Amino acid sequence: MLNSRFRIVEYPEANQEVKSIYDDTMKQMGIPFVLNWFKCQGSNPILLKGNWEKLRSTMLIGKIPFILKQLIIYNISQKKGCNYCTHAHGIMADSLSKTLCDDEGFKVTESMQSDYIPASYKAAIRIVTKCALRPLSTTEEDFEELREEGFSEHDIQELMALADLTNMLNTIADISGIKIDNELMETK
The C-alpha atoms of residue 118 and residue 106 are separated, in whole angstroms, by 18
Q: First vs last Cα of the chain: how many Å apart?
A: 22
The C-alpha atoms of residue 99 and residue 62 are separated, in whole angstroms, by 20
> Do 108 and 96 form a contact (C-beta atoms < 8 A)?
yes
Using alpha carbons, list the distances in angstroms from residue 154 to 62, 63, 132, 157, 162: 10, 9, 18, 5, 13
Query: Looking at beta carbons only, is 55 or 108 nearer to other proteins?
Result: 108
Query: Looking at beta carbons only, is 34 or 93 nearer to other proteins?
Result: 93
SS3 139: coil
CB of 94 to other proteins, least distance (A): 12
CB of 28 to other proteins, least distance (A): 18
Residue 146: its H or E element = helix 140-148
Longest alpha-carbon distance in the chain: 51
CB of 143 to other proteins, least distance (A): 11
CB of 26 to other proteins, least distance (A): 23
Query: Looking at beta carbons only, is 103 or 140 nearer to other proteins?
Result: 103
Binding region for other proteins (CB under 8 A): 63, 65, 67-68, 97, 100-101, 103, 105-106, 108, 111, 114-121, 147-153, 155
Helices (H) and strands (E) in the chain, counts: 9, 0
Query: Looking at beta carbons only, is 116 or 186 nearer to other proteins?
Result: 116
CB of 170 to other proteins, least distance (A): 25
Query: Looking at beta carbons only, is 114 or 182 nearer to other proteins?
Result: 114
